[in-house]
Structure 1
Amino acid sequence: MALISQEESQKIIHNSIWKQNAALGQFLGLCPVLVISSNIVNGVSLGLATALVMLISSAAIAAIREFIPNELRAPIFILIIAALVTMVDLLMNSYVHDLYVVLGIFIPLITTNCIVLARAEAYASKNGVAASALDGFMMGLGLTMVLAILGAMRELVGKGTLLSGIDLVFGASAKSWIIHVIPAEYNYQFLLAILPPGAFIGLGFLIAGKQALDRRAEAKAKLAAKQINSSELETA
């Protein structure tokens, strides 16, 4: 397995986490993003499950890409992804059953998530194992970060808490880890944030924020280029 350079690794990470972020840049896989992001725990759990599937599937596809006939590429990719999703589904059902029940159909639906198949087709089928594995995992991690931030926003505004549902992962003793930003005795609840419209609004703010930061960085780069050009003209 050929190793990748540090420069290439940094390029893949920046591209996956920020430039071509699955949810904020490519607008892929928005169904689970909007439905599961009602709190941090649900969002991060599904995001990490997706990242794990993308890591292994990308590496597997890259390893056998030269032996896959072009006309059978899509069904073979889906078969590999479906097998991995089944493994993740069974593991979550066995070890975190309560969380598994909450996430429901969205675990097996990772198979049809266009993010997973898109990266297999666009990257893993054309690059080496190490680069493909890193690309797949970082794409999944980028999605997880969006799910975590959006889940935190919706949970905080909707219920005044953070980490609600953490006991579904670590057991009943973890209920003490829940952060009540607004004291529980107030019974605070803002349904707009918890329901699907809140997901659309929150995602819109995140997309707008990313685009604003991109424009700011582009403007700084242009200004720096102008300053370099002017200094070169002066020295000439």
Structure 2
Amino acid sequence: MFSEYSKIVKDGLWLNNQAFVALLGLCPLLAVSNTIINGLGLGLATTMTLVVSNTVVSLIRNFVPDEIRLPVFVLVIASVVTMIELAMNAWFFGLYKILGIFIPLIVTNCSIIGRAEAYASKQRADKAFLDGLSMGLGFTFALVTLGSLREIIGSGTLFAKAELMFGEAAKTWQIDVITDYSGMLLAILPPGAFIGLGLLIALKNIIDTKVEQRKPAHIQIPIQAAQEQ
């Protein structure tokens, strides 16, 4: 049982990361990831949508006829996104204005409807919940990582405008990574997002290759020791 849950978490966070591997949800990923705070805000909204929609879809899967399955799933997702949008409008208005259309567009995110159809509709609620949480956090990780890279290169800062999410006390959280830096406009513009994402995907592939190369060495050592004995 633990191995099943562990696999779900690994798939969501790394092995089947929706941004770095499946390459889904790239429109919001590239559009709003110019700062950490923007990426974190959209990532958490997407994670909440995945968690709630996956859980609800799993709970109702046996009561929904196959003929109307997808429309019902979309309706569930749209309802969840609407609640999240209203909550952000009420409590995080500044961040809500910056993210703009990309909050309601979560409804059309392929990764969300994909997880609802491919996984949540076939699994128990606990597994669907964990899958949604893992996939959401994996997507948030991609947003925050890309946002960090673009913010540092583009503006030389980290956690700029953190007060939009964490309140007035967070105004002092900004870190000037590069002092007296005039910035690089390319990193903030859409082409910089494509370049940054490509570099991060390349880095992930290098890490995965290194890990795979090390696996045979660990397996062969005990085999050789047993043969010598």
Q: 1:21 maps to what in 2?
A: 17
Unaligned runs of 5+ in 2: none
TM-score, length-normalised on structure 1?
Answer: 0.93
CA displacement at 1:234 relative to structure 2: 4.4
Unaligned runs of 5+ in 1: none
Distance 1:233 1:75 in 2: 60
Which amino acid in the other structure matches residue 42 of structure 1? N
Task: Answer yes or no: is 1:211 the counterpart of 2:205.
Answer: yes
Q: What displacement does 1:110 show?
A: 0.4
In structure 2, C-alpha distance between the alignment counterparts of 1:57 and 1:100, rounded to whole Å: 21
Structure 2 length normalisation: TM-score?
0.95
Residue 152 of structure 1 aligns with an amino acid whose one-letter code is: S
* Corresponding residue number in structure 2 for 1:202: 196
Aligned to 1:46: 42
Aligned length: 229
Task: Deviation per CA, 1:90-109: give whole Å up to 9, x if none.
Answer: 00001111110000000000
RMSD: 1.4
Q: Equivalent residue of 1:192, what SS?
A: helix
Matched, 1:220 2:179: no
Distance 1:59 1:215 in 2: 34
Alignment partner, residue 125 of structure 1: 121
Q: Deviations over 1:54-109 (max 9, x none)?
A: 00110100011111111211111000000000000000001111110000000000
Residues in 2 aligned to 1:182 and 1:193: alpha-carbon distance in whole angstroms: 15
Distance, in Å, in 1 between the alignment partners of 2:110 and 2:189 is 24
Shift of 1:182: 2.5
Aligned position for 2:109 = 113
Distance 1:60 1:107 in 2: 20
How far off its partner does 1:169 sit? 1.8
1:103 to 96, 99, 102: 99
Select the residue among 71, 80, 85 that pairs with 1:84: 80
Matched residue type, 1:87:
M
Deviation at 1:143? 0.4
